Amino acid sequence: MIQIFLFDEEKNCHKDLTLDQIRISLPNPDHLLWVNLANATPQETQYVLGDLFNFHPLTIEDCLSVGYQPPKIDDFGSYLFLIVHALHPDHRLDTLETFELNLYLGENFVVTCYAEESMPPVERVIQRLARDQRVYLNGSDFLCHAIIDALVDDYMPLVDQLDDELDDLEDAVLQKPHPITLQRILSIKHSLMTLRRILSPQREIINRLTRDEFPMVDKQSQIYFRDIYDHLVRIQDLTETLRDIATSALDIYLNSTSLRLNEVMKALTIVSTIFLPLSFVAGVYGMNFHFMPELTHPWGYPLVWVVFALIAGGMVLFFKKRGWF
């Protein structure tokens, strides 16, 4: 699907334009043009990006390619090409997935392009166009800011979900550790590392946009990109904290395996060290020697029970003293 938004000299918003009207508006520096290629066919994508906008073929290749591509920013003089990553709207915590948003930023145009059916941050900005003029009044750089800001705003709820999941796992690890708990902790840790790997280059991209580098990003917008930069720093900080918590949970889990072994072995040791001597004594008086004076003694049997009690009691006292109960 291709959506075209044109904001003319009087800041009126035109929606249902044909592709060829792009040719007319593009050379007009007072027009602002936003073309959104949402799950468009390769032919459409090639026509818009290649024939209408004349973007570099390598960037079109990037837009059309599937498979993971790290975030980046490329400077082609008259336009910038950005790859940033949005969170999958129904991402799973244990195998975090993100999808790419390709974005071109020129003096008077923004082109967004993605392969997915739905890209929530872009859709939210489209809805905002109707009720908030500021999105397009300040030019293409501010429109680009609005899109990336919406995209980054989705990260925080994810971090909160990961935090909640880790709280659960911390409890699980202390109450009833189970191999599944281990797997969940490792999955969360893995997702946190995936997140971290995406955050780091995006932070660098936004940092470059806040410095005095690109003619299409003015001083005013730089301050707004700095705000996104702050958000990314904050999310990175929280991600690091969560990684620490996950590592602690892992340590407690691994130690609990040893502790339970200790507990099991203590039970075995206590029972064995009490009953092996007792059984030996019983075995002695089960021997069939003809001459065993204890056997004929009338107090023999009761005294053996006294011996049993002394042995068992002595062992219990010994274990108590060692703190094994």
Binding residues among 125-164 for Mg ion as defined by CB under 5 A: 149, 153, 155, 163
Q: Given its phi and psi angles, is residue 67 left (phi above 0), alpha (psi -120 to 50 degrees) or beta?
A: left
Return the one option of its own copies, Mg ion, none that residue 317 interacts with (CB less than 5 to 8 A, by type).
Answer: none
**Considering the complex, what minimum distance in angstroms separates the CB of residue 156 from its own copies?**
8
* Residue 179 Ramachandran class (φ > 0 left, ψ -120 to 50 alpha, else beta): alpha
Minimum CB distance to its own copies, residue 111 (Å):
18
Which residue type does 308 have?
F
Q: Is residue 109 classed as helix, strand or coil in its secondary structure? A: strand
Region of 31-39, 117-125, 136-144, 286-294 interacting with its own copies (CB under 8 A): 286-294
Phi-psi region of 49 (alpha: psi -120 to 50; beta: other; left: phi over 0): alpha
- Compute the least distance from the CB of residue 117 to Mg ion, in Å: 16
Q: Give min distance, CB of 216 to Mg ion, in A.
A: 21
Alpha-carbon span 209 to 188, nearest angstrom: 31
Scanning residues 51 to 90, which ones bind its own copies (CB under 8 A)? Answer: 56, 58, 61-62, 68-70, 72, 74, 76
The answer to the question of residue 50 lying near its own copies (CB under 8 A) is no
Give the N- to C-terminal CA distance of the chain in Å, as an integer.
71
Q: How far apart are CA 316 and CA 284, in angstroms?
A: 23
For residue 163, the partner it binds in its own copies, Mg ion, none, with Cβ less than 5 to 8 A by kind, is Mg ion
Binders in 99-118 for its own copies, by CB under 8 A: none
Cβ atoms within 10 A of the Cβ of 199, count? 19
Burial 173-183 (b: 16+ CB within 10 A, else e): beeebeeebbe
Question: Is residue 169 within 8 Å of residue 188, measured between CB atoms?
Answer: yes
x/- site string to its own copies, residues 162 to 201, per CB under 8 A? ------------x-x--x--xx--x--xx--xx--x----
- Given a contact cutoff of 8 angstroms between Cβ atoms, the answer to whether 201 and 71 are in contact is yes
Instruction: For residue 223, state whether it binds its own copies (rule: CB under 8 A).
Output: yes
d(CA 222, CA 167): 37
Strand partners, 7: 13, 32
* Binding mask of the shown chain, residues 126 to 165, with x at each position contacting its own copies by CB under 8 A: ----------------------------------------
Neighbours of 308 (CB within 10 A): 15
| Residue 171 contact partner, candidates Mg ion, its own copies, none, CB within 5 to 8 A by sort of partner | none
Quick one: what does residue 153 bind among its own copies, Mg ion, none, with the CB cut-off 5 to 8 Å set by partner type? Mg ion
Interface with Mg ion, residue 51, by CB under 5 A: no
What is the binding site for Mg ion (CB under 5 A)? 62, 65, 69, 96, 98, 149, 153, 155, 163, 167, 194-195, 198, 227, 230-231, 235
